[in-house]
Chain A
Amino acid sequence: MSFLTRTAATSLIALVAATPLRADSLDVRIGYLQWMPDQGPVLSNVLPDPEDAGLRGAELAINDNSTTGKFLGQNYSLQSNVADSEEAAIAAFDAMRENGLDLFVVNAPASTLKTLTEKGDDNTLIFNAGAKEDALRTGQCDVNLLHTMPSYSMLTDALGQWLNQRRWDEVFLITGPTDADKSWAHAFRRSAKRFGLEIVEDKPWTFDADLRRTASKELPLFTQASNYDAVVVADVRGDFGEYVPFNTWLPRPVVGTQGMSPVTWHRVVESWGAAQLQNRFRELANRDMNSEDYAAWAAIRAIGTAVTDLNSAKPAEIRNFLFSDKFQLAAFKGRKVTFRDWNGQMRQPIPLVHPRGLVATAPFEGFLHPNTELDTLGFDQPESECRING
Chain B
Amino acid sequence: MKTLLKRTALAAMIGLSTPALASVAYVSNEKDNTLSVIDTETREVIETIDVGQRPRGILLSKDYTKLYICASDDDTVQVLDLATRKIVDTLPSGEDPEQFALHPNNKHLYIANEDDAIVTVVDVDTKDVLAQIDVGIEPEGMAVSPDGKWAVNTSETTSMLHWINTETFEIEKNIVVGQRPRHVEFTKDSKIAWASAEIGGTVHIIDVDNLEQIHEMSFKVPGVNQDRVQPVGIELTSDGKYAFVALGPSNHVAVVDAQTYEVLDYLLVGARVWQLDLDKDEKHLYTTNGVSGDISVIDVEDLKVIKSIKVGRYPWGVVIDPTS
Binding site for B on A (CB under 8 A): 64, 67-68, 70-72, 273, 276, 279-280, 283, 301, 305, 308-309, 328-330, 334-336, 372-374
- Complex contact A68–B115 (CB within 8 A): no
- Complex contact B158–A335 (CB within 8 A): no
- The smallest beta-carbon distance between A89 and chain B, in angstroms, is 30
- Complex contact A328–B200 (CB within 8 A): yes
A64 to B249, CA, bound (A): 26
- Complex contact A67–B117 (CB within 8 A): yes
Closest 10 CB pairs of A and B: A330-B199, A335-B227, A330-B180, A68-B158, A330-B179, A336-B199, A71-B174, A67-B137, A328-B179, A64-B137
Task: Identify the closest chain B residue to A336 (Cβ).
Answer: B199
Q: Which residues of A contact B198 (CB under 8 A)?
A: 330
A228 to B241, CA, bound (A): 60
Q: Which residues of A contact B117 (CB under 8 A)?
A: 67
A373 to B176, CA, bound (A): 28
A330 to B137, CA, bound (A): 12
- The smallest beta-carbon distance between B181 and chain A, in angstroms, is 10
Listed A/B pairs (11) with beta-carbon separation below 8 Å: A67-B155, A68-B155, A68-B159, A72-B174, A280-B137, A330-B159, A335-B230, A336-B199, A336-B200, A336-B201, A372-B225
A77 to B194, CA, bound (A): 35
The 8 Å CB contact of A336, one of B134, B227, B249, is B227
- The smallest beta-carbon distance between A12 and chain B, in angstroms, is 13
Q: Which residues of B contact A373 (CB under 8 A)?
A: 225
- The smallest beta-carbon distance between A362 and chain B, in angstroms, is 14
- Complex contact B96–A279 (CB within 8 A): yes
- Complex contact B160–A273 (CB within 8 A): no
The 8 Å CB contact of B157, one of A309, A328, A330, A336, is A330
Q: Which residues B146-171 have CB closer than 8 A to chain A?
A: 155-160, 162, 171
Q: Which residues of A contact B199 (CB under 8 A)?
A: 328-330, 335-336
Q: Which residues of B contact A301 (CB under 8 A)?
A: 157
A-B pair count, CB < 8 Å, reads 70
- Complex contact B227–A276 (CB within 8 A): no
Q: Which residues B126-158 have CB closer than 8 A to chain A?
A: 134, 136-138, 155-158
The 8 Å CB contact of B136, one of A67, A273, A283, A330, is A67
- Complex contact A68–B180 (CB within 8 A): no
The 8 Å CB contact of B156, one of A70, A330, A336, A374, is A330
Q: Which residues of A contact B136 (CB under 8 A)?
A: 67-68, 71
A279 to B114, CA, bound (A): 10
Q: Which residues of B contact A329 (CB under 8 A)?
A: 179, 199
Q: Which residues of A contact B180 (CB under 8 A)?
A: 273, 330
Q: Decide yes or no: A71 and B157 within 8 Å by CB, A276-B114, A276-B138, A330-B180 being known contacts.
A: no
B55 at the interface (CB under 8 A from A): no
B228 at the interface (CB under 8 A from A): yes
- Complex contact A68–B137 (CB within 8 A): yes
A305 to B157, CA, bound (A): 10
A301 to B159, CA, bound (A): 12
Q: Which residues of A contact B315 (CB under 8 A)?
A: none
A-contact 0/1 string along B193-232, CB 8 Å cutoff: 0000011110000000000000000000000010110100
- Complex contact A273–B178 (CB within 8 A): no
- The smallest beta-carbon distance between A351 and chain B, in angstroms, is 16
A120 to B199, CA, bound (A): 33
- Complex contact A67–B158 (CB within 8 A): yes
Q: Which residues of B contact A72 (CB under 8 A)?
A: 174
Kindly name the residue among A301, A309, A330 whose own CB sees the greatest number of chain B CB atoms within 10 A.
A330
Q: Which residues of B contact A334 (CB under 8 A)?
A: 249
- Complex contact A280–B179 (CB within 8 A): no
- Complex contact B158–A71 (CB within 8 A): yes
Q: Which residues of A contact B156 (CB under 8 A)?
A: 273, 276, 330
Q: Which residues of A contact B225 (CB under 8 A)?
A: 372-373
A17 to B198, CA, bound (A): 30
Task: Identify the closest chain B residue to A374 (Cβ).
Answer: B227
A-contact 0/1 string along B64-83, CB 8 Å cutoff: 00000000000000000000
The 8 Å CB contact of A328, one of B138, B162, B178, is B178
The 8 Å CB contact of A280, one of B115, B134, B201, B230, is B115
Q: Which residues of A contact B160 (CB under 8 A)?
A: 68, 71
- Complex contact A308–B176 (CB within 8 A): yes
Q: Which residues of A contact B249 (CB under 8 A)?
A: 334
Q: Which residues of A contact B228 (CB under 8 A)?
A: 335
- The smallest beta-carbon distance between B128 and chain A, in angstroms, is 26
Q: Which residues of B contact A71 (CB under 8 A)?
A: 136, 158, 160, 162, 171, 174
Q: Decide yes or no: A372 and B227 within 8 Å by CB, A67-B117, A335-B199 being known contacts.
A: yes
Task: Identify the closest chain A residue to B115 (Cβ).
Answer: A279
A276 to B137, CA, bound (A): 10
Q: Which residues of B contact A70 (CB under 8 A)?
A: 134
A217 to B96, CA, bound (A): 50
- Complex contact B158–A273 (CB within 8 A): no
Q: Which residues of A contact B171 (CB under 8 A)?
A: 71
Known contacts A276-B115, A328-B179, A330-B199, then 4 further A-B pairs from the complex at CB < 8 Å, ordered by chain A residue = A68-B137, A71-B174, A330-B179, A372-B225
Task: Identify the closest chain B residue to A64 (Cβ).
Answer: B137
Kindly name the residue among A64, A283, A301, A309 whose own CB sees the greatest number of chain B CB atoms within 10 A.
A64
